[in-house]
Structure 1
Amino acid sequence: MSHPTAWQTHRQYTVTAARWTADRWSKEADRRRTLRAARKPLVRDARAALAQAQAVDPQKVTSIVHRAERELATAKRKVPHPMWLFASKTTAAVAATGYIGLPLVPGRVWMWAAVAVSVAVAGAILWARLHRPAASPIEPTAEERALLKRLQPEHWREHAEQRGLTGTLTGRPALTESGIVVAVRLDGQWTATKLRGAEDHVRALLGARTSLRIQIKAGKKGGWAELTLRTRSAADGDDLLWSPERRTLGIDTVTGEHVTVPLGERLLIAGRSGAGKSVASRPLLYDASEGAMNALVIIDLKRVEGRLWDHRARVASTPEEVIEVVDELVAELNDRLSVLPKGQDTWTPTPDRPRITVVVDEGAEVVTAADKVPFPEVDDKGKTKVLLRSALPGLETVARMGRAGLIDLWWMTQKPTINDGIPKQIAPQISVSICLAVRTPAEARVVLGEDAQAKGWNADELPAPGVALVRDGTRKPDPVKVRYMDKAVVIALPAQPIWSRTSTPATATGAPTLTLVKPTTTPAVASIDGTDARILDAIENAATPVRQKDLAETTGLSKGTVSKAVKRLTDTGHITRRPDGGLTADKAA
């Protein structure tokens, strides 16, 4: 190695050592500064306690003064010296020791000491190079640099009293992929809940913009809170457009993980108008309608979202259709439970009897519109009577008992209040809640639980649209950016068989087998729909005239559906009602 090269190498090592020493000096100085800021108030309190004790007992008759003096001495010992003073004392001690003791050390000891020091220095340099921490890829923005400066304990302590936050003190803030996180020490009467109520004071102290989301929750130990400023999101930079390859609900903005909601759960999806409920539910509706083992039923009285899925789902968009499909679902559920093998807890899906997901879009409207709906029915004597029927009891039955029969209820509403938006018999059955932005904390508590706010589930603070909280019993209250699935993408999805309850010859167990069918017609009934065709087929295949009440059992359809179909077929001349009430098919028709 040439002389210039050696000089350059030594110079580089010197610069590195100096930089490392300066960095260690800075960190130790910051640590001591933080401890002094935290412990000097304790010294002042101890002095005040001593002065009070001396005033009470100036003759030191009791132990109160001696105890106060010991507490003051202990408090002083816990306050570290500033770095400059510590270094000065250390240098003076080393110099004095060297001046007195070094001349007495033999030369051989000096030689081996120099060897040991050289080896130690070389080893330390090698270890430092091998264990050098990776540089943080996160570069703070101008806003984050300002917030980090104001979150320093020195700045906080100086301005806390002016903002009504006396008794709180921050630790050292850290910049993460989801924003700035800092621990806050709480003294006196402060609690995490009380600090959360003083969020406006915290925002003012930091000079944070109004739209910046601030989260305050209990710390990892008593007397501490955790303050998080959501200046960034772990989902930034990810492609949130939905595709068959990206079928998750969304991305956690704190951890960056992909969030999924498996089928088989009873869901509540809530959020104010414009929060993005429909968009958030589309990836889930795709999963619920994909494959031979899944079938989707959508109850949508608004006739907007359901129309997008009518090639993959059975859609009920009128009160009469809602009641008919609910009747079929209850009948299907009862059949499944009646033939469920002994010792088996849940139904095993098959292509004939798949898992059925029932989605109620805008539940408040269904509760109101599908209640006391007039249904005309014709009795065996040909007389018509009107019955008032409601879909709610059937939906409550599905919510309570559907899990075993693999008929799952998903309830969606923009009015998350008990009885109005969520029936009180359905709310306790919900296992997973997906809450987008809501208007009030009360609505957030209805969706996410009474302990929602205390545990950080603040859905009323979420931005809209497209950000949700998912509470399933395991997740933390981290916001989730949901994937975007466009209407055109839904319409372009391949069609799937539409579920409908129909009967085939009974199995060995004596119970009918229910299948997924597409309405079929024969040349003789080409002008009528699938329900009327099944009624007509049942009448034609009967050896004797069929009574109307027997048709409901034969076809598996509800009485109301059979009654309307019989009336249509009678009006068109396809069937004839005999004087005794029996029904026969007109072959000429």
Structure 2
Amino acid sequence: MDWKQAWSTTTNTTNSALDSLAPVCAPFAVRWDLEADRRNKLRTQGHLKALMAAQKEHNAARSTHATAKSQQLTARAASNNPFAAGRRAARVASKAASRHEKDTRAKLKAARVNYPSTLKARAIQAHSVHAVPSAIASALTSTSHLTVWPVATSAVLIGSNVAALALGRRRVRVPVDESLSLEERQLMERLDPSYWVEHAPDRGLSGTVTTPPAMEPGGVRCEIRLDGTWTVKTLVEKVDSVRALLGARTALRIRITSASRGGWAVLSLATRSAAAGVSSLWTPDRIPSDPLSMSLGLDTETGNEVLIPFDERLLVSGASGTGKSWSFRPLMATAHLRGDLLLIDGKGEEANIWESVCRVAVEAAEIAAAIDEAHAEMTRRKHDMKKRGISVWDGHQLTVPIDEGQVVLAAIARDKERLQRLIELSSLGRSRGVVLWWATQYPLTDGSAPGVHKLIAPNLLTRFSLRVAGTTQAQVALDDCAHYAPHQIPDGREYRGHGYLKGYGPRLLRTWTLDDAGVRALPKAIWTPDQSTSGQAPRTPLHLVKDTPAPPDAATNRDKVLAAVQSGARTARDVADATGLNKGTVSREIKALTANGALHRADDGMLLPGRDAA
């Protein structure tokens, strides 16, 4: 046997066991030391002199009272008349001496409080109260052999007191990894139970005890035992006191949640991100094999990939500059590669990138037409499902993302019929394979310019929120999970694309991103209503093809529209038929060509080449 190794193993095991018991005994040791320190500070020369004077005065008062009592008894024996002068005088003197003795006794008690015994002496006195009688009881109850259990009980009590003090004063050594930053070392030292219990009362956290902290991929983590009336909710309200006790910087995210057992809380300090070493750029390889789920991003605390339902209605919220559009793109790309995509873009910037990939709608007329066609497709699928006797659409999914929701609602606010169709898309479309996704900078349902309609918002069950403006927006963005506080996400470039997912827990997620080049590399698939067929099976997913440079003479959409008009097309429909482009793209290019003078409209509305083009 390797005795050295065995000794080392035994020592390490023993130290680990003692370290685990130390936080349990720490409150007792702290109370003991505080009381001992209080008593020692009161034991001054002034208080000692006051105590000695009080004792002297009390002894004199007791002597006087005893003398007066004796004289009263003598007077009572000398005369049977209770109203005799001698008896009355003795009685009055006895009462005065009694009152004086009581007054001096109260003063002596106060002096003893001001000059108390040491806590060690008081403990010895307390243990003697049961140790001495126990020894006497052992001797008296012994007959043929010695009865030792009373003495053993006293010894156990004394030993428990001493052991609890020793464990409570034991300084737990937290193993510190060399890779930790200076900030993390400081935080772990201050989360050490011995430091926490000693300084917690100064911050109003008395009654809480930490466990030795651990370093995890997302930062520092430890558990906190909640004694007395403490709850997780009250500890969350004291998060500023926790930050002050740890000396943590203001920008450091501190999260306090419930542990797996009652009376315990979990404290997480986001000193690092578990997603830091993983590229945020989305590729089609990120599409899960499960056709009913899609990848949203990574958990910054654990590094695990977070999946959300693909066929569920979605609300994405985020103030301007938080990376909402870039975070939304990977989800749209997934929908495009798995089925059909109809993008309704109220602002128009995203449509500039997606128009060469999928069907887009930007202008008011295009938005109205897109809503009508999506609603008509939903109705067509309803009749087809009834004819085939099925309850859930078994063909490919038509995803309708709306970005920005506030602009789209403003465009159709006065058109009640079209607004109703949009509401029905959110409430009835899912089972028919027409799924609405909603993105907005202003997650509000009230006011003159809401970001999402109050009848649409309840249908958007999957909700993801980046940083928003305030608590009102947070309530709409995450509904009953608004306490995740998305409005408190730090404002900085490094936190773009970071947000919270409803129901996942208050754990910050970092989404995937897709740049302009990645969108343009997606295969082209323009959805039109006449492409839908009855009982269509799920389409084979689209795949990316290797980028090849376009030939120098490749015509743009604008060139095609101009060439069609020069060839005799006179209406937008004629141009769409001639070029094969969707109506939204044709309308936008005609507007641009008219603005720069390449085209102009005749009095009857017909399109004619401009003078420059001619």
Report the TM range for the smaller structure's normalisation: 0.5 to 0.7
Q: CA deviation at 1:370?
A: 2.8
1:252/1:480 contact within 8 Å kept: yes
The answer to whether structure 1 residue 260 and structure 2 residue 307 are counterparts is: yes
How many angstroms apart in 1 are the aligned matches of 2:17 and 2:369? 75
2:474 to 444, 454, 458: 444
**Secondary structure of 2:529's aligned partner:** coil
Q: CA deviation at 1:43?
A: 8.4
2:22/2:167 contact within 8 Å kept: no
The answer to whether structure 1 residue 490 and structure 2 residue 536 are counterparts is: no
Report the equivalent of 2:544. none
Q: Deviations over 1:94-134 (max 9, x none)?
A: xxxxxxxxxxxxxxxxxxxxxxxxxxxxxxxxxxxxxxxxx
Q: CA deviation at 1:531?
A: 3.9
2:499 maps to a residue whose letter is: A
Q: Deviations over 1:239-294 (max 9, x none)?
A: 22222223433211122222233421100000111111111111111111115xx1
Report the equivalent of 1:63. none
**Secondary structure of 1:221's aligned partner:** coil
The answer to whether structure 1 residue 231 and structure 2 residue 281 are counterparts is: no
How many angstroms apart in 2 are the aligned matches of 1:43 and 1:174? 29
**Secondary structure of 2:240's aligned partner:** helix
The answer to whether structure 1 residue 348 and structure 2 residue 394 are counterparts is: yes
How many angstroms apart in 1 are the aligned matches of 2:34 and 2:176? 41
1:31 to 17, 20, 24: 20
**Secondary structure of 2:286's aligned partner:** coil
* CA shift in 2, pair 1:78/1:279, >3 Å: farther
Q: CA deviation at 1:363?
A: 0.9
- Pairwise mapping of residues 415-430 of structure 1 onto structure 2 (< 5 A)? 415-419=442-446, 420-430=450-460
1:334 to 367, 370, 379: 379
How many angstroms apart in 1 are the aligned matches of 2:519 and 2:197? 55
Report the equivalent of 1:179. 219
**Secondary structure of 2:308's aligned partner:** coil
**Secondary structure of 2:333's aligned partner:** helix
1:307/1:315 contact within 8 Å kept: no
2:249 maps to a residue whose letter is: R
Report the equivalent of 2:501. 470
Report the equivalent of 2:297. 250
* CA shift in 2, pair 1:76/1:286, >3 Å: farther
Report the equivalent of 2:122. none
How many angstroms apart in 1 are the aligned matches of 2:348 and 2:232? 46
Per the normalisation by structure 2, the TM-score is: 0.62
Q: Deviations over 1:448-476 (max 9, x none)?
A: 222441xxx232233431212223x5x33
Report the equivalent of 1:383. none
Q: Which one has a larger percent helix, Structure 1 or Structure 2?
A: 2
The answer to whether structure 1 residue 401 and structure 2 residue 448 are counterparts is: no
The answer to whether structure 1 residue 274 and structure 2 residue 321 are counterparts is: yes
Q: Deviations over 1:45-67 (max 9, x none)?
A: 999xxxxxxx9xxxxxxxxxxxx
How many angstroms apart in 1 are the aligned matches of 2:432 and 2:364? 25
- Pairwise mapping of residues 302-317 of structure 1 onto structure 2 (< 5 A)? 302-317=347-362
Report the equivalent of 1:154. 194
1:251/1:257 contact within 8 Å kept: yes
2:570/2:606 contact within 8 Å kept: no
Q: CA deviation at 1:489?
A: 2.0
2:25/2:167 contact within 8 Å kept: no
Report the equivalent of 1:583. none
The answer to whether structure 1 residue 166 and structure 2 residue 193 are counterparts is: no
Per the normalisation by structure 1, the TM-score is: 0.64
Report the equivalent of 2:163. 81
Report the equivalent of 1:109. none
* CA shift in 2, pair 1:212/1:264, >3 Å: same
* CA shift in 2, pair 1:188/1:250, >3 Å: same
How many angstroms apart in 2 are the aligned matches of 1:84 and 1:201? 29
* CA shift in 2, pair 1:534/1:315, >3 Å: closer
How many angstroms apart in 2 are the aligned matches of 1:493 and 1:80? 73
Q: CA deviation at 1:147?
A: 0.8
2:372/2:421 contact within 8 Å kept: yes
1:501 to 529, 532, 557: 529
Report the equivalent of 1:218. 258
Unaligned stretches of 5+ in structure 2?
37-108, 110-129, 131-152, 169-174, 288-294, 536-556, 588-600, 608-614
Report the equivalent of 1:546. none
How many angstroms apart in 2 are the aligned matches of 1:525 and 1:389? 40
Q: Deviations over 1:129-159 (max 9, x none)?
A: xxxxxx9989432221211110011111111
Report the equivalent of 2:50. none
How many angstroms apart in 1 are the aligned matches of 2:389 and 2:510? 41
**Secondary structure of 2:410's aligned partner:** helix
**Secondary structure of 1:339's aligned partner:** helix
* CA shift in 2, pair 1:480/1:203, >3 Å: same
1:151/1:172 contact within 8 Å kept: yes
How many angstroms apart in 1 are the aligned matches of 2:374 and 2:177? 54
* CA shift in 2, pair 1:459/1:503, >3 Å: closer
1:296/1:312 contact within 8 Å kept: no
1:433 to 457, 460, 463: 463
Q: CA deviation at 1:304?
A: 0.4
Q: Deviations over 1:325-354 (max 9, x none)?
A: 1111111111111221454112222xxxx4
* CA shift in 2, pair 1:257/1:528, >3 Å: farther
**Secondary structure of 2:432's aligned partner:** coil
Bigger-Rg structure (1/2)? 2
Q: Deviations over 1:13-42 (max 9, x none)?
A: 454344334423432442343232134578
Report the equivalent of 2:342. 297
How many angstroms apart in 2 are the aligned matches of 1:569 and 1:76? 107
Unaligned stretches of 5+ in structure 1?
1-9, 48-54, 56-68, 87-134, 373-387, 510-517, 537-556, 562-567, 575-589
Report the equivalent of 2:508. 479
1:192/1:216 contact within 8 Å kept: yes
1:492 maps to a residue whose letter is: A
2:248 maps to a residue whose letter is: A
How many angstroms apart in 1 are the aligned matches of 2:391 and 2:306? 28
* CA shift in 2, pair 1:197/1:529, >3 Å: farther
* CA shift in 2, pair 1:85/1:220, >3 Å: closer
**Secondary structure of 2:480's aligned partner:** coil
- Report the aligned-residue RMSD: 4.2
- Pairwise mapping of residues 134-145 of structure 1 onto structure 2 (< 5 A)? 139-145=179-185
1:168/1:187 contact within 8 Å kept: yes
1:271 maps to a residue whose letter is: G
Q: CA deviation at 1:401?
A: 0.5
Report the equivalent of 1:359. 401
Q: CA deviation at 1:166?
A: 1.9
Q: CA deviation at 1:437?
A: 1.4
